[in-house]
Chains A and B, each alone.
Chain A
Amino acid sequence: DAGITQSPRHKVTETGTPVTLRCHQTENHRYMYWYRQDPGHGLRLIHYSYGVKDTDKGEVSDGYSVSRSKTEDFLLTLESATSSQTSVYFCAISEQGNSPLHFGNGTRLTVT
């Protein structure tokens, strides 16, 4: 299995609070991604990174920000969590932009 660790695995938070999810890889892959998965919508891209300090928005980026200060870490921040951000969040990595993605185990976030 690709070395990808997401933390925390589960989190419950209140509306309006900031939340940061962490993705850590040991594969030295250039590309890292954050997706969210919701029933009826499938996996949707939030943000991705193609190198240290190089990031771009995905399909559902509103309300989210990311940072990548080191190759191995990609952080996803919800500045002020809302109930619509209750979801399962997956981090993924790939060697190239069109290479297969390898996913972390996911973070289940509940915003009450």
Chain B
Amino acid sequence: GQNIDQPTEMTATEGAIVQINCTYQTSGFNGLFWYQQHAGEAPTFLSYNVLDGLEEKGRFSSFLSRSKGYSYLLLKELQMKDSASYLCAVTRGNTPLVFGKGTRLSVIA
């Protein structure tokens, strides 16, 4: 089976840095995805980690530790438009993604 945990809600201040954690227990783990979903919209792909370490893409970075079953998404220089839900999803082999329940991030002034 698969178990994916992420905090339900987080609040952070505009201009700050926020880290959204995701822990998973998955047999045959292959890789971990992060998606962003604004209210009322479809999820959009942010990042994909297969190997341990940090992947940086502009203001967003994603980290993976396979041995610890742990990932985080780091958002820097927060903007109001970053208010959204962030979804962690894992895959094993060629099977479809399994999603966590998502973390709703509110960015306040």
Contacts and interface: CB of A to CB of B under 8 A. Distances in A.
Interface of A: 31, 33, 35, 40-45, 48, 58-59, 90, 96-98, 100-106
Nearest to B95: A97
A101 B45 contact: yes
Contacts of B102: 42
Interface of B: 30-31, 33, 35, 41-45, 48, 87, 89, 91, 93-102
A45 B44 CA distance: 17
B96 A45 contact: yes
Given A33-B96, A42-B100, A48-B96, A100 B42 contact: no
Given A43-B87, A103-B43, A97 B99 contact: no
Contacts of B44: 103
Given A33-B96, A42-B99, A100-B45, 15 more contacts: A35-B99, A41-B101, A43-B87, A45-B97, A58-B96, A59-B98, A90-B43, A96-B94, A97-B91, A98-B93, A98-B95, A101-B35, A101-B45, A103-B44, A105-B42
A58 B94 CA distance: 14
10 contacts: A35-B99, A45-B97, A90-B42, A98-B94, A101-B43, A101-B97, A102-B45, A104-B42, A106-B41, A106-B42
Contacts of A97: 91, 93-96
**A-B complex: 9 closest residue pairs judged by Cβ atoms:** A97-B94, A42-B101, A103-B42, A43-B99, A100-B45, A98-B91, A42-B99, A48-B96, A103-B43
B101 A40 contact: yes
A112 to B, nearest CB: 21
